[in-house]
Structure 1
Amino acid sequence: MTDLTHLAVPGAEIALRVTPKASRNALVPGEGGLRAYVTVAPEDGKANAEVTKLLAKALGVAKSRLTLLRGHTARDKLFRLD
């Protein structure tokens, strides 16, 4: 699991690119930004829920503190930490 606790600042906006239907759940920091890989399919918000859960665990915060601002149906997402 990637440790992203240094990003856990209230009001921080975290952009990431999501790859659904991956072989494993993972958060990978890279040159182009943060990438999230989730095993679930992007239907009925299941992938968004899994990304929120994965990001919250990496940040060390509760899922309820993350708000999806942009990208509900897109691969590029923007979360805000409240």
Structure 2
Amino acid sequence: MSHFHWDGHDLILHCHLQPKASANAFAGLHGDRIKIRLTAPPVDGKANALLQAFLATAFAVSKQHVCLEAGHQSRQKRVRIKDPQSLPTELALTARSS
């Protein structure tokens, strides 16, 4: 399994979250998932909300176009990004290295 794949015009992203980090950022690969560091703690949905906002900005879409499909209570998540308008450099770099 790759850390992302296309489903029509949608991008499916398999990610591993590191909550309570010092900054929000992509952080390479963690196994077969892309690692994302987030400053939010993993309580009351705060990390999920920040993940949605972070990915919306990274892929140049509205937050409504970022849907958490699996892993609501886990660090391992599957996210659908509907019709991304931009691909972050980090995603392209990890695609080449995998």
TM-score w.r.t. length of structure 1: 0.80
The structure 1 segments of at least 4 consecutive aligned residues displaced by more than 4 Å after TM superposition are none
Bigger relative contact order, structure 1 or 2 (CA pairs below 8 A, ≥6 apart): 1
**Please, which runs of 5 or more residues in structure 2 have no aligned partner?**
1-5, 83-98
Letter in 2 for 1:13: I
* Secondary structure in 2 matching 1:72: coil
The aligned counterpart of 1:15 is: 14
Letter in 2 for 1:39: T
How far off its partner does 1:31 sit? 6.7
Which structure: larger Rg? 2
How far off its partner does 1:63 sit? 1.0
Root-mean-square deviation over aligned CA pairs: 1.8
The aligned counterpart of 1:63 is: 63
Q: Where do residues 25-64 of structure 1 align in structure 2 (5 Å cutoff)? A: 25-30=24-29, 32=31, 33-64=33-64
**Please, which runs of 5 or more residues in structure 1 have no aligned partner?**
1-6
How far off its partner does 1:30 sit? 3.0
How far off its partner does 1:70 sit? 0.2
The aligned counterpart of 1:79 is: 79
- Distance (whole Å) between structure 2 residues aligned to residue 34 and residue 44 of structure 1: 23
Percent identity over paired residues: 35
Contact 1:27/1:54 (8 A) holds in 2: no
